[in-house]
A and B are shown apart, each in its own frame.
Chain A
Amino acid sequence: MNEWDDLYLEVILDHNKNPRNNHELEKHTHHADGHNPLCGDRVSINILMDNETVKEVSFTGSGCAISTASASILTETIKNKSKYEIENLFKDFHDLVTNKNEDKKKLGKLAIFEGVKKYPARVKCATLSWHALMAALEGEKETTTE
């Protein structure tokens, strides 16, 4: 047992090593770049929306294990969801990593990021791709965690 085991879960390490949907998306309707000026992490999110629902989503960029895994799992989670559903999901996710949410059931796979709440310095890593996602859905081109 290591102290960091609750942060670097196997699933997170796997998504860091083999990120899903980690490529450009030629046909997309929404796009935004996220930047964490504190650590230099960058992530770009591309989305293809159809009928107000996410049909395709991908990400590119470089960051730490937490931000890479978070972006990867995000792309798996938001497919076929509406903007409204995604907004609620982000709120629940944000509450989870900032220790304001005990109800993990709604979060599904995202619940594995619960360990982040013990590492306040890493909250921005976990939420960077989400901020970029929200910016993309709002039609903005870029966002920062500041």
Chain B
Amino acid sequence: MSFKNIKKDFPILEQKVNGKNLVYLDSAATTQKPKEVINSLNNYYKETNSNIHRGVHTLSQKATEKYEKARVMIANFIDATSSKEIIFVRGATEAVNLVASSYVKPLLMENDEIIISQMEHHANIVPWQMVCEEKKAKLKIIPIDENGELIINKFNELINKKTKFISLNHVSNSLGTINPIKKIIHIAHQKNIKIMIDGAQAVQHLEISMKDIDADFYCFSGHKMYAPTGIGILYGKKELLEQMPPYQGGGDMIKSVTFEKTTYNDIPNRFEAGTPNISGAIALGKAIEYINKIGISNINKHEEDLLNYATSKLKKINKVKIIGEAKEKAAVISFIIEGIHPHDIGTIMDSHGIAIRAGHHCTQPIMDFYNVPATARASFAIYNTKEDVDELVKAIEKCIKVFA
């Protein structure tokens, strides 16, 4: 499979930034969108725009059909048992908040414990802190080692009869570590503990099967997998979702409303109050179509090649240190350059037309662990090439020269 012409699918990548060809290496923050996805939004508003689940008129039926078709595509993409297990949300952040509020909070008692890890994104820390504070429960943290891998033995030690829930990321956004979630889920289930996996950095890189990993909840954001912002997915096992109270009240999440009593709708509509992001959901379906056309295993192979190429190039530069060297990694490289602050790296890169992220990547506990204020991060996607890596390396060498 050749990835040479993939860049042409992404109109935004044709532009120049600061007089240079744009080299976009910030896909872990958000990916660019292929023509199919952009056209899908455009076509929806030109041809189909209408409210779903409401009208008997043709457009409403068409919109409903496309929206529900996208749900089925997503269910197939992550190999869920039923499309009823797919809830449309704004993004992974909302999904975590939904589970924290509707599933975990009602069962949490004083002094109960929730386990997360040291490598979580703030989105998988703060919602748990909030629910723990409200219910006087405790948050326990699985530590990581110097390579950026979870210390599984410590995880085993943290589990006890007060443990009520576990939430972990599948892939770390700042270290790139791919966590052994199947094994972790198995350990959790042996102890009868439910577990949520934050897959925001995983679905765009790895083949995933809900039936295989057996997660109780799994979530991801559309915009990190070639779809628009403002649409994301919460997967939940049917039997869990069915017993959960709604997250928000409003239209479309009810069966009947009188001022005396409201009967809530069945899943998944129960969790989709109000008019949802219809065009976003349909465009997410298109993004999945695009991924499927290329093949997720081809994507995985291509990105792994880029990661290995970039890692070996960066390791040859004396002053560069890679942060996060797990054995299993997704196409994300965090690095620091001795004596140069990541912000200055970011500015020099930008003047070369290279977009990288510089900062703490919403993972301050990781920065504290490695005792750095911030890192520079290059992250890759299907449209990146070895030439992009070469540009990155050239710009790093320039940085070192300027600040020598």
Counting contact residues on chain B (CB < 8 A from A), the size range is 20 to 34
Chain B residues with CB under 8 A of A8:
344, 402
Contact at B402–A13, with CB atoms within 8 Å?
Answer: yes
When distances are taken between beta carbons in the complex, the residues of chain A under 8 Å from B374 are 39-40
Contact of B347 (CB < 8 Å), options: A7, A38, A42: A7
User: Chain A 3-16 against B: per-residue CB contact (8 Å), 1 yes, 0 no?
Assistant: 11001100001001
| Residues of B5-34 contacting chain A, CB below 8 A | 18-19
B351 and chain A: residue at smallest CB distance: A3
A107 contacts the other chain (Cβ, under 8 Å)? no
Query: B260 → chain A, closest Cβ, in Å?
Result: 47
A38 to chain B, nearest CB (A): 7
**A39 near B359 (CB under 8 angstroms)?**
yes
B344 touches A65 (CB 8 A): yes
Taking the complex as formed, is A51 at the interface, i.e. its CB lies under 8 A from any CB of chain B? Answer: no
Closest A residue to B358 using CB positions? A39
Between A2, A16, A42, A64, the greatest number of chain B beta carbons within 10 A of the residue's beta carbon is seen for A64
CA distance A39 to B342 in the complex (A): 9
Q: Are B359 and A65 in contact (CB under 8 A)?
A: no
| A40–B347 alpha-carbon span in the complex (Å) | 16
B residues 326-360 in Cβ contact with A at 8 Å = 340-344, 347-348, 351-352, 358-360
Instruction: Tell me which of B342, B352, B359, B373 has the highest count of chain A C-beta atoms within 10 A of its own C-beta.
Output: B373
- Residue numbers in A under 8 Å from B254 (CB-CB): none
Q: How many A-B residue pairs have CB under 8 A?
A: 55
Assess the B373–A13 pair: CB atoms within 8 A: no
Partner of B343, one of A4, A42, A64: A64
Does A94 sit at the interface, judged by CB under 8 A? no
What residues of chain A lie closer than 8 Å to B72, measured between beta carbons? Answer: none
**Is there contact, CB below 8 Å, between B373 and A62?**
yes
Residues of A within 8 A of B18 (CB): 3
Q: Which of A3, A13, A40, A68 contacts B360 (CB 8 A)?
A: A40
Q: List A50-87 residues whose CB lies under 8 Å from chain B.
A: 62-66, 68
Contact of A2 (CB < 8 Å), options: B342, B351, B360, B364: B351
Which residue of chain A lies nearest to B345 when distances are taken between CB atoms in the complex? A64
Q: Is A32 an interface residue (CB 8 A)?
A: no
When the two chains form the complex, which single residue of B352, B367, B402 contacts A40, counting CB atoms closer than 8 Å? B367
Q: Are the C-beta atoms of B351 and A64 separated by less than 8 Å?
A: no
Is residue B403 within 8 Å, beta carbon to beta carbon, of the partner chain?
yes
Q: Once the chains are docked, how many angstroms separate the CA of A94 from the CA of B351? A: 24
| Chain B residues with CB below 8 A from A41, complex form | 341, 343, 373
Are B351 and A4 in contact (CB-based, < 8 A)? yes
Chain B residues with CB under 8 A of A62: 373
Q: Which residues of the partner chain A approach B344 to less than 8 Å between Cβ atoms?
A: 8, 64-66
* A4, A68, A125: residue with the most chain B Cβ atoms closer than 10 Å: A4
Give the contacts of B356-392 with A (CB-CB under 8 A): 358-360, 364, 367, 373-374
A122 CB-CB contact with B under 8 Å: yes
Q: Please judge, given known A-B contacts A3-B19, A39-B373, A62-B373, whether A125 and B403 are in contact too, CB under 8 Å.
A: no
A38 to B374, CA, bound (A): 10
> A97-139: contact bitstring with B at CB < 8 Å (1 yes, 0 no)?
0000000000000000000000101100100000000000000
Q: Which residue of B lies closest to A16 (CB)?
A: B403
Cβ contact within 8 Å between A39 and B403: no
Q: How far is the CA of A125 from the CA of B18 in the complex (A)?
A: 21
| CB–CB A40/B373 < 8 A | yes
Please indicate the chain B residues that have their CB under 8 angstroms from the CB of A16 in the complex: 403
Which residues of B have CB within 8 Å of A40? 359-360, 364, 367, 373-374
- Chain A residue at minimal CB-CB distance from B360: A40
Would you call A38 and B402 a contact (CB within 8 A)?
A: no
Q: Are A4 and B348 in contact (CB under 8 A)?
A: yes
CB neighbours of B403 from chain A (8 A): 13, 16-17, 65
Q: Which of B19, B343, B359 contacts A125 (CB 8 A)?
A: B343
Name B's A-contacting residues (CB within 8 A): 18-19, 340-344, 347-348, 351-352, 358-360, 364, 367, 373-374, 398, 402-403
Could you give 28 example pairs across A and B, Cβ below 8 Å? Answer: A2-B351, A2-B398, A2-B402, A3-B18, A3-B19, A4-B347, A4-B351, A4-B402, A7-B347, A8-B402, A13-B402, A13-B403, A39-B343, A39-B373, A39-B374, A40-B364, A40-B367, A40-B373, A40-B374, A41-B341, A41-B343, A41-B373, A63-B373, A64-B344, A65-B341, A66-B344, A119-B347, A122-B343
Additional pairs, 9, CB under 8 Å, beyond known A4-B348, A39-B360, A121-B347: A4-B347, A13-B402, A13-B403, A16-B403, A39-B358, A39-B373, A66-B343, A119-B347, A122-B347
The 8 closest A-B pairs by CB, nearest first: A64-B341, A40-B373, A3-B351, A64-B343, A65-B344, A4-B351, A64-B344, A40-B374
